[in-house]
Amino acid sequence: MRGIIGYLVTPFGADGSPDLDSLSKLVDHLIAQDIHGIAPLGSTGESAYLNDREWAAVAQTTIKAAAGRVPVIVGASALTTADTVTMCRSAEQWGADAVMVLPLSYWKLTDDEIFDHYATVAQAISIPIMAYNNPATAGVDMSPELLYRMYRDIDNVTMVKESSGDIQRMHALHLLSNGDLPFFNGCNPLALEAFAAGAAGWCTAAPNLIGGPIKAMWDAVQANDFRAARGLFLDNLDLLSFILSGGLPATVKAGLDLMGMPCGSPRLPLQPLSNADRATLANMLKLATT
């Protein structure tokens, strides 16, 4: 697995529950951006705010809508190991190509607790696990040493997604594994540098809004043309940073609405984008498409 992995939001209907029809259309929209994979139920997908039934419906609908056109990586993360096992098993059974597992925490976890958590989950399934480090949302930070140890010692942990935004983590993963461990970047404003450092791909919600430049940037990187990649990146950096700092569910939903694909507001306590921020985003989208 390599390339651009696009995140899906979870659209909500008027009654506040997942709007599965809109979700199917978003799958089509995202695949139409000519990217390499899609990922429902990540941070952008408000997975943490869904109940079990809602999570299942979103996973199943996405896999069905994708219909094998691109791989589907399902976010499957819970506070307890038991719930995480259940989710990963379900995802596998429904046809997911891989799962992305974030070590959610309330009490901080030790490295051994995290390792055992992933080992237990991995033993329960036979599809690949993307170990996902995002200390800002998970409340726990996995060091490159721990990530590498899990990659080396746990069979199904085959790739890492790094969203800490610290390029030195990526260097460390490279050095620890002699360049063997495929790492994906999950921090939009670090995309250019992650590619420079050898990232296998970029997991991002941006293709929902600016699919063309994202794909062009990937192609420039593949052609080893970093001058072109830099131009594309810097031209879109304001937008890439804006959608992250405003909270991806709120900003991406606002952007999709501006583009004629309404999918409701984020779930409370998360609030929709303010009118001022929405206007800013509208301007950025106009600039991006001209």
What are the residues binding a copy of itself (CB under 8 A)? 43, 48-49, 79-82, 103, 106-110, 112-114, 116-117, 120, 136-137, 139, 165, 167-168, 171, 174-175, 179, 189-190, 192-193, 195-198, 224-227, 229-230, 234, 237-238, 247-249, 267-271
Instruction: List the catalytic residue out of 7, 151, 161, 253.
Output: 161
In order of 89, 125, 151, 271, 281, the CA distances from 242 in angstroms are 35, 37, 33, 16, 8
Please state the closest distance from residue 219 (CB atom) to a copy of itself, in A: 15
DSSP state of 47: G
The dihedral built from the CA positions of residue 108, 45, 134 and 83, taken in this order, carries a sign that is: positive
Please state the closest distance from residue 138 (CB atom) to a copy of itself, in A: 8
Instruction: List the catalytic residue out of 132, 148, 215, 253.
Output: 132
E strand or H helix at 20? helix 20-31
Is 258 in a helix, a strand, or coil?
Answer: helix
Q: Given the complex with a copy of itself, which of 189 and 262 has the nearer CB atom?
A: 189
Give counts: helices (H), strands (E), the chain. 12, 8
Q: Given the complex with a copy of itself, which of 5 and 191 has the nearer CB atom?
A: 191
Active-site residue, 132 included:
yes
Please state the closest distance from residue 272 (CB atom) to a copy of itself, in A: 11
Active-site residue, 25 included:
no
Please state the closest distance from residue 53 (CB atom) to a copy of itself, in A: 13
**Calpha distance 160→100 (Å, rounded):** 9
Q: Which residues are marked as active site?
A: 132, 161
